[in-house]
Amino acid sequence: MNSWSRSGGRLAAGVAGALVGAVAVLSLQGRHAPPEPAPKVRLGLTSNDDAKRSALDLRKSDGLKGTILLAWTPGELPAGSERIVERTPGVIDATTVLSGLDWIESSRAADGTPIDSPPRGYAIPFEIAIIEPKEYAAFVPASERTAVNEITSGEAVMAATEANGLRGASEGLHIDLGERSVRVASVVSDVATNGYEALMRGPAPATWSQTNRFVLMHIKRASARRAVERRLEETLEPGGVLRLRAEGEAPFLRYGDAVMPQLLIKANFGEFAARPLPDGRIEIHPAWVKANIRSAVLPVLGDVGRVTCHRALLPQLRAALKDVAAQGLAYTIDPADYGGCFSPRFID
């Protein structure tokens, strides 16, 4: 089993951005393209706030039955959670989703034109949701249900931001994931994929060492939420924490809903080629690091020395810390607590 196989399914966390909540897990930036000017961090069409509005607009008056509710827990829910949920009073139906990380080793358009060609020994992290198409289709906007429902083995449905903004190709794109390959059958909204880069039919690849299991459900009334909470909490290990989110409470109904999806982080910061290391870190291609990572001395954090971070984040970090100092609040920040900004690694 190679390093790609061992790391399959794990969440790549890459470059954490201190004081920038939306980039608390700044994964997968930069790509194997030539260096470009520092990107402006666009929290416009690719922000969690806009995603939230888009999700509500797409689902509004869409004929969806009941309210959609998400259930997840750090790690993953027990395998029988879907059945437990479906037997809970007030729940109409439910479906299980498994999310994980794969690696793009190459890709080509329908006409054979190369799209992705990472440097030898590197690959592009690719966040996927594994679904049961007929069940999951009930949880997407009506106009996109057919595309989801028709996913077959060896196919993927790709998020619009992934197809249009990152890959630059859509239907017919062939993606080599190392020990297997997939063909993009169609493109749907980011809302339909819940912020994942692509949807694929189950089962999850055998090469994935780790998955994140969560459940989506339709509930008839608000009181069913509490019933679901009680039933699922009984299945968790001691100390386990259940997370429930209804549509409208989070931009996307997905595992780790409070963290900006890798898809949107890529759209704002670019994506890079990398390779996993045995100690849980990831090695980002040096060309991307040279083009995008900078070091600077920042206000308030002077005792830390030079802070190393993504070039697009340093101006925001500097401005925020200047504001803190200007308001006489520098004493509220202990430089000794600074944990770093650029730290490419996996989060289990």
Task: Give buried/exposed letters for 96-118 (b at 16+ CB in 10 A, else e).
Answer: bbbbbbbbbbbbbbeeeeebbeb
Q: Which of 327, 347, 307, 329 is nearest to 18 (CA)?
A: 307
Q: Which of 192, 74, 77, 57 is nearest to 129 (CA)?
A: 192
Cis peptide before 125 (omega within 30 of 0): no
Report the mean per-residue pLDDT for the chain. 86
* Burial class (CB within 10 angstroms; exposed 0-12, middle 13-18, buried 19+) of 334: exposed
Helices (H), 48-113: 48-59, 81-86
User: Taking the model in full, what pTM does it have?
Assistant: 0.84
DSSP 220-275: SSTHHHHHHHHHHHTTSPTT---EEEETTSSSS-STTTTSPPHHHHHHHH-B--EE
Question: Given the structure tokens 């990472």, which residue do they identify?
Answer: 118
Which of 174-188, 192-206, 331-345 has the weakest average pLDDT? 331-345
| Confidence tier at 270 by pLDDT (50, 70, 90) | confident
pLDDT in tens, 71-111: 999 989 999 999 999 999 999 999 999 999 999 999 999 99
> Is residue 37 scored above 80 in pLDDT?
no
Three-state DSSP class for 282?
strand
